[in-house]
């Protein structure tokens, strides 16, 4: 089969590689759509922390936001999985440690992450092998485009839930990228008055087009009480700003990761009686995200600016915008095209 292989920072090839075989407990999926994520870009540049911590190494196959159809099942897997349309959890715990037994496999110390950690090949390929236990069924109303948006959506849904908005609460999202906009959509669906802060006029204009009227740069944020602030950026200085802007007894949610340390003043956290929450993974939010997409309460389709081939994935990872791309922040790959 054809697969996108990252061989070193900035170096890649689309290669013919052996097709996967379903091991016991696993399935093989025909991949229909894959999202390109900021994590993938960090692997492309060589900046991803896992590379320096020994959790990942080149050559590697990227792709952890995916949707497809089960093409084969391994021993011990219910044959009913065959032919089902699915997406899969990125986080694959060992299944035996204390964290896994408590249902927290997404923070298992020995976890593999599809296309990210532990030599588990990703979905930028025509087929993917993955444990059947990681699968989530996609209903007919959730097509491949939406299916490949479930993983980032699960992260954003967890961030929105951590903000704990009550109807009429005012929530501020820092960063109108894919995760920030998805979090804003889930916050809006929960009844919050949503505000967004970004850096570029084009990103703010796109947010307005999605129906978010309250958008600002860091220089134009109004003096308003924000009951919750979600930091969905990679800017090291913004976690402190989130704490500064949130109302006393409010909540700050950190889902973005900076390249270097971010610092907050815990005295402000205590004296304002603020709840701070960190969000790592989509795992606990995947089923609820599928339901939200299926019932139309959240529609992330406009976020996808273009769909490209495996051969075009490298330039996208290098920062090139595909010809004719729309204004959205997300690029998808169709491994079957080209």
Could you state, in order of their start, the residue ranges of all structural domains in the chain?
2-149+300-333, 155-278
Whole-angstrom distance, CA of residue 292 vs CA of residue 142: 10
Q: What is the pLDDT of residues 215-256, one digit of tens each?
A: 999 899 999 999 999 999 999 999 999 999 999 999 999 999
Whole-angstrom distance, CA of residue 253 vs CA of residue 242: 9
Q: Which fold has domain 2-149+300-333?
A: Quinone Oxidoreductase; Chain A, domain 1 (3.90.180)
The predicted structure's pLDDT at residue 259: 83
- As given in the structure block, the two tokens for residue 130 are 């993955």
Judge whether residue 75 has pLDDT over 90: yes
The predicted structure's pLDDT at residue 186: 98
Q: Strand, coil or helix: what is 93?
A: coil
CA torsion sign for 144, 148, 151, 152 is negative
Judge whether residue 17 has pLDDT over 90: yes
The predicted structure's pLDDT at residue 273: 98
Distance of CA 264 to the CA centre of its chain: 24
Across the range 148-167, mean pLDDT stands at: 97
The predicted structure's pLDDT at residue 109: 94
Across the range 183-194, mean pLDDT stands at: 97
Judge whether residue 122 has pLDDT over 90: yes
Whole-angstrom distance, CA of residue 159 vs CA of residue 171: 12
Q: What is the pLDDT of residues 21-71, one digit of tens each?
A: 999 999 999 999 999 999 999 999 999 999 999 999 999 999 999 999 999
pTM of the model: 0.95
For the beta carbon of residue 302, count every other beta carbon within 10 angstroms.
15
* Window from 37-41, 82-86, 130-134, 259-263 with minimum mean pLDDT: 259-263
Confidence of residue 338 (pLDDT cuts 50, 70, 90): confident
Cross-strand pairs, 308: 333
- As given in the structure block, the two tokens for residue 103 are 């249902």
Whole-angstrom distance, CA of residue 211 vs CA of residue 108: 38
The phi and psi torsions of 307 (rounded to 5 degrees) equal -125, 125
Judge whether residue 260 has pLDDT over 90: no
Look at strands 85-88 and 135-137 and give their pairing.
antiparallel
Across the range 13-25, mean pLDDT stands at: 97
The predicted structure's pLDDT at residue 144: 98
- Average pLDDT score over the chain: 96
Across the range 3-23, mean pLDDT stands at: 97
What is the 8-class DSSP label of residue 165?
A: P
For the beta carbon of residue 193, count every other beta carbon within 10 angstroms.
18
Among the CATH numbers 3.40.50.720, 1.10.260.40, 3.40.50.620, 3.40.50.2300, which is that of 155-278?
3.40.50.720
Judge whether residue 332 has pLDDT over 90: yes
């Amino acid at each position: 089969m054809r697969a996108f292989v990252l061989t070193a920072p900035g170096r890649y090839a689309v290669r013919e590689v052996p097709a996967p075989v379903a091991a016991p407990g696993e399935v093989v999926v025909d991949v229909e759509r894959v999202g390109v994520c900021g994590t993938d870009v960090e692997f492309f540049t060589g900046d991803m922390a896992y590379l320096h911590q020994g959790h990942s190494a080149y050559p590697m196959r990227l792709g952890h936001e995916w949707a497809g159809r089960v093409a084969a099942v391994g021993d011990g897997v219910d044959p009913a999985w065959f032919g089902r349309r699915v997406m899969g959890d990125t986080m694959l715990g060992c299944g035996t440690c204390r964290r896994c037994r408590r249902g927290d496999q997404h923070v298992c110390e020995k976890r593999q992450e599809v296309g990210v950690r532990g030599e588990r090949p990703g979905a930028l390929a025509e087929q993917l092998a993955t444990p059947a236990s990681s699968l989530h069924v996609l209903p007919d109303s959730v097509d491949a485009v939406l299916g490949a948006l479930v993983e980032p959506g699960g992260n954003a849904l967890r961030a929105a839930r951590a903000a704990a908005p009550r109807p009429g609460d005012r929530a501020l999202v820092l960063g109108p990228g894919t995760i920030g906009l998805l979090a804003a959509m889930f916050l809006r669906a929960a009844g919050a008055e949503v505000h967004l802060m970004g850096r570029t006029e084009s990103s703010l204009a796109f947010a307005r087009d999605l129906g978010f009227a309250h958008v600002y740069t860091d220089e134009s944020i109004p003096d308003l009480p924000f009951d919750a602030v979600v930091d969905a950026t990679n800017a090291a200085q913004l976690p402190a700003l989130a704490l500064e802007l949130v109302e006393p007894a409010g909540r700050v949610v950190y889902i973005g990761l900076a390249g270097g340390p971010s610092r907050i003043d815990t005295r402000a956290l205590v004296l304002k009686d603020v709840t701070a929450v960190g969000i790592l993974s989509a795992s606990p939010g995947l089923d609820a995200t599928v339901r939200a997409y299926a019932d139309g309460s959240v529609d992330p389709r406009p976020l996808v600016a273009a769909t490209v081939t495996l051969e075009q994935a490298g330039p996208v990872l290098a920062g090139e915008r595909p010809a004719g791309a729309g204004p959205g922040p997300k690029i998808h790959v169709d491994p079957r095209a080209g």
